[in-house]
Homo-oligomer: A and B are copies of this chain.
Amino acid sequence: MRTIQLQLPASIITGAGVINDLANDRNIVASQNLLFLTAAPLESMLQPVVDTLKANHTLQVIVYDFPGEPTFDLIRELLDQLTVQPDCVIGTGGGSVLDCAKLLAALCSRTQTPEEVVGMQLVKPRTTRLICIPTTAGTGSEMSPNAIFLDTASQAKSAVISKELVPDAAYLDPELTFGLPARLTAETGMDALSHCIEAYTNINAHPMIDLYALEGIRLIAANLLRAVKAGDDTNARSALLLGSMYGGICLGPVNTAAVHALSYGLGGKYHISHGLANAILLPSVMEFNAPASPDRHAEVARALGAVGSTNEALIRNGINLLRQLAIDCGIPQRLGEIGITQDAIPELVEIAMKVTRLLNNNPRKVSAEDASAIYQQLI
């Protein structure tokens, strides 16, 4: 068993209504100056929480209308808005909000610029506490060392990956996700599912992480459609938050692979939502990868709910289940349906082939021709 470092939030608090106990969090109790970062559509829902934090702390609230993928310009703008250096940053929102909160907590001491921390483990020890509260399920950003930003110039994505970005506490409150529209529930859920599947079939897969990956697949596969159909189904929403959290745990020590590499250009260049891009790519990449690790893909299929007497049957049934789940959740099946045409492919391939950090994790080598064929099949 190879060496592995699991960096997790020291506190993971889950359950309906746990957000109401936020003011008693040890990170908040130990802090004076709080920064509460969230997105405009969540503001009214979070007002009661903000009010309880105000009672005993100096609180700065930044409500931002996050425009798709966050950028370093946005981080600089947010840093400029800080009236005082916070002791604790609280991010509440989807992946963009959480990624921004994570980077703000790392950079608000002004010892490094965003550009200086792009890459692996370049963030200096963080002295500001950090709490992440997801309102989607999701990116799993509340668990991971990753924060992803769009490079405005190149339209590519920049990844900041550091154990310093793992929050000190994560609150998983299903009631905060009740209001997430069906389409976003579906897309973010498929993103979480892809984290788990890409970790389990990863060449760097590890037994400790397999545990989370398989449980995440089971939870999301069994509950995504229920949450899409009934947004206030507490059990389904709880299961998705757990599944997304498990997907987030996978990101640190194992990470994703070809699905995420191939989605880079779709997000960066064409502003297709991250979850949607991954959802469309996932079944085709699984078909491409399965021959390279049939046992692992058969196990994924089982966790998706498939049965079958051979690996081949299991895998076929598993991928069919996945496609049907996407259809039932209203997710487009083809890139063509979301405006990507044939002439986009060369540039998409070019962007994807640069993401060697993720392609190197893939169980089957992906050549430029392979990538092109996968996109082609999905037009």
Contacts and interface: CB of A to CB of B under 8 A. Distances in A.
A138 interface: no
A45 interface: no
A166 to B, nearest CB: 7
Contacts of A29: 125
Nearest to A164: B26
Contact of A208 (B3, B10, B14, B125): B14
Given A125-B30, A242-B208, A11 B5 contact: yes
Interface in A3-21: 3-18
Interface string A157-198: 000000100101000000000000000000000000000000
A67 interface: no
A211 B211 contact: yes
Interface string A37-62: 00000000000000000000000000
Given A1-B238, A26-B125, A208-B242, A10 B13 contact: no
B15 A11 contact: no
Contact of A1 (B4, B15, B168): B15
Nearest to A6: B12
A8 B12 CA distance: 8
Interface in A326-358: none
Contacts of A16: 1, 3
Contacts of A7: 10-11
B5 A8 contact: no
B30 A3 contact: no
A295 interface: no
A275 B3 CA distance: 28
Nearest to A11: B7
A211 to B, nearest CB: 5
A53 B2 CA distance: 24
Nearest to A210: B215
A242 B17 contact: no
Contacts of A30: 125
A367 interface: no
Nearest to A171: B5
Contacts of A166: 10
Contacts of A11: 5-7, 163
Interface of A: 1-18, 26, 29-30, 125, 163, 166, 168, 207-208, 211, 215, 234-235, 238-239, 242
26 contacts: A1-B14, A1-B15, A1-B16, A1-B235, A1-B238, A2-B15, A3-B13, A3-B14, A3-B15, A3-B16, A3-B18, A4-B13, A4-B15, A5-B11, A5-B13, A6-B11, A6-B12, A6-B14, A8-B8, A10-B10, A10-B166, A10-B168, A26-B163, A207-B242, A208-B242, A211-B215
3 nearest A-B pairs in the assembled complex, by CB-CB distance: A3-B15, A6-B12, A10-B10
